[in-house]
Amino acid sequence: MDEQLATELALLKELGFTHLDVHSRGAESVSDEDQRALLEQMAGVARACEKCRLAKTRTNVVYGVGNPNADLMFIGEAPGRDEDLKGEPFVGRAGQLLTDIIKAMKLTRDDVYIANVIKCRPPENRNPEADELDECRPFIRRQIEIIKPKVIVTLGKFALQSLMQRGYAITGARGQWLEYNGVKVMPTYHPAYLLRNPAAKKDVWADMKKVMAELSSASAETSAP
């Protein structure tokens, strides 16, 4: 067992999560109900978490929402004010734009899974600190393990850098395929950035077309005799 995994397992055990029912990507499929139960179990662990300073100022833990067996997973940075109040990711103006992007892909929010690398709102929507990202990272990794998406779209630099643990520049990485534990990763701009820079919407749509092509190809391979 590598040191990083051992550290993350120790954190989950400290938080009270003592049973890890991990299914490999090649394993027999698990029902949506079972997947949802696993995610809810981890959400309960997150709601009890007080490992960083954000626990003192949050209203709600914003764990994730959507299809527990989704082929496509969107990962953002952190909850904002609206998300903190509602306990659901991407429900403000940026969230509406993300919903519009998903609809343009001929999908709904119920078809995909949406989460953030940080589960609690940073005060005044400041950027997350390095130690906060470190403490929260086991949760997003566990979500990915449970959901087993075919494609992950990271939204903005903090989501990309925290998931990959590399100092990627979003302008350089955007639109380029990366890989996380065997899952294809497409970095793109955060919807909040698009609200400030509408001209960048064409870049995001170009990225989403690559995602749609990859999902179509993966689906064809899965259904082939």
Q: What pLDDT is recorded for position 219?
A: 81
- Please give the domain boundaries of the chain with CATH numbers for all domains: 31-220 (3.40.470.10)
> By percentage, how much of the chain surpasses pLDDT 70?
85
Residue 94: is its pLDDT beyond 80?
yes
Mean pLDDT in residue range 180-205: 98
Cα separation values, 93 from 76, 80, 153, Å: 14, 10, 19
Residue 102: is its pLDDT beyond 80?
yes
Q: What pLDDT is recorded for position 31?
A: 77
Nearest residue to 183 via CA among 72, 97, 60, 48: 72
Q: pTM score, two decimals?
A: 0.87
